[in-house]
Structure 1
Amino acid sequence: MLNFSDPIWELIARFAINTGAMSLLVFGMYYRRYRDRELATTASMFNIFAFAVLTILSSVQFSLAAGFGLFAILALFSLRSEQIEKIEIAYFFGAIAIAVICSVLGTGLVFVLCIVSFVIAAAWALDHPNMMKSAHGAKVTLDAIDPDILSDTEKTRRLLCKRLGVDVMTFQIIELNYVNDMARINIFYRN
């Protein structure tokens, strides 16, 4: 019989919980719904790396300030990287959170398994396609700027609906370039 009080077996059990939960979150949910191989690979690798680093750090004397410093360094990566969507950030953070939950020594394995199960269940329910019917998003570049684009948002919304052939629920103007007569807009629409 396995003795989970032995540090090696406890580490193996924690790694198995971490890897299983991360795989369910990233590949079972995110990848199946969004088919983004790059983010799925990145989030899963980040999870494994974070688990390894945090396991080492939790077994030695490590201050809370140093932990916040570690996450500040991680935040700098996002500032230097290409912009990712909100849902991608949520899944990416979920993969890191699972690594943190599983790697902290001093918590019982049953407790860790319960918390990770709650995280997975919440992610599944909150991002389930039937839970909230969401709008689709798109980035649009227009080759002409309407004179009322900023002053009459309802007119702009109607023009976007007509031009794109979809029900534009809302939009966000990213850039107006009057030199080239070009507008970059993020739209949220329903078919």
Structure 2
Amino acid sequence: MHRRSRGVVDTLETYGQLVARLAIDLTAVSVLTFAVYYPRHRRRDLVPAYLALNVALFSVVAALSQVGGGGGMALGFGLFGVLSIIRLRSDSIQHEEVAYYFTTLVLGLLCALPHLPLAVAGALAALLLLVIHVADHPRLLSGTRRAVITLDVVHADEAALRADLARRLGEPLTWTVKQVDFVRDLMVVDVRFRVPELSGRVARTTRRTALSATRSRTNALPVPRPPAKETV
């Protein structure tokens, strides 16, 4: 009788731990997806992918912790196979979105590890969220851009190509020629460049000047006077 009651208590503690870990995982992945990723990138198609991948990985790792022997080994090989077929090299997925993919995976793994204390799992999840929040912040390295452009001329001289890129985009930091078409006289260049520092100031100054000119023209217009009343 004592053993049976002890087993019931252990089972309840196990389920309690599992629910607590699942709550930490769902909270972390929700913050990652809805508070960090979507407001910055606005790709709704990747939101269910992040959530489903995280919860699925959490479920598999939780099952691995409960199954021993050959069953656990089989699930381990199955997990390795599932992760190996995930393709993250598509051109439609940017590098920062790949970082969100791996953060989602790691959150599911951390929160589902049975022997990791809840406090440590929560702290590591918070650390991951902080790192991805800072690393993908719009103000971090905001003056650097990347673009793949098609030029209507083929530059054989590197200096001429650099000057053309600087005229069109800004200061080029590095570039890679991806395609050259001598028949149509085109070349495709993947370029990293720095936005001119004064561009924002010039744009703001231009807007202020235009607004001031508009107000000046408005103030210069004659104000219509009401017609004089006739005296009977």
Residue type at the aligned position of 1:109: L
Closer/same/farther in 2, CA of residues 107 and 172 from structure 1, 3 Å limit: same
Higher RCO (CA-CA < 8 Å; seq separation 6+): 1
- The answer on 1:120 being equivalent to 2:129 is yes
Q: State the TM-score, normalized to the length of structure 2.
A: 0.67
- The answer on 1:45 being equivalent to 2:52 is yes
5+ residue gaps, structure 1, are none
Residue type at the aligned position of 1:19: L
Which residue of 1 is the match for residue 120 of structure 2?
Answer: 111
Partners of 2:107 and 2:125 within 8 A in 1: yes
5+ residue gaps, structure 2, are 1-9, 196-232
Give deviations 1:33-66, integer Å, cap 9, x for gaps. Answer: 2222222332222112211222212322334x97
- Aligned partner of residue 86 in structure 2, secondary structure: helix
Q: Distance in 2 between matches of 1:182 and 1:58?
A: 57
Per-residue deviation at 1:92? 0.9
After superposition, the CA RMSD in angstroms is 2.8
Per-residue deviation at 1:79? 6.1
Which residue of 1 is the match for residue 24 of structure 2?
Answer: 17
Which residue of 2 is the match for residue 26 of structure 1?
Answer: 33
Closer/same/farther in 2, CA of residues 180 and 53 from structure 1, 3 Å limit: farther
Closer/same/farther in 2, CA of residues 127 and 168 from structure 1, 3 Å limit: same
Partners of 1:4 and 1:10 within 8 A in 2: no
1:30-179 aligned within 5 A: 30-61=37-68, 62-63=72-73, 67=76, 70-71=79-80, 73-78=82-87, 81-82=90-91, 84-133=93-142, 135-148=144-157, 152=158, 154-162=159-167, 164-179=168-183
Closer/same/farther in 2, CA of residues 136 and 37 from structure 1, 3 Å limit: farther
Which residue of 1 is the match for residue 223 of structure 2?
Answer: none
**Which sits farther off after the overlay, 45-54 or 92-101?**
45-54
Q: Distance in 1 between matches of 2:88 and 2:132?
A: 25
Closer/same/farther in 2, CA of residues 60 and 41 from structure 1, 3 Å limit: same
Larger Rg: 2
Identity of aligned residues (%): 28
- Aligned partner of residue 6 in structure 1, secondary structure: helix
Moved over 6 A (4+): none
Which residue of 2 is the match for residue 183 of structure 1?
Answer: 187
Q: State the TM-score, normalized to the length of structure 1.
A: 0.80
Per-residue deviation at 1:134? 5.0
Q: Distance in 2 between matches of 1:91 and 1:135?
A: 21
- Aligned partner of residue 116 in structure 2, secondary structure: coil
Partners of 1:168 and 1:189 within 8 A in 2: yes
Query: Would you say how many aligned residue pairs link Structure 1 and Structure 2?
Result: 183
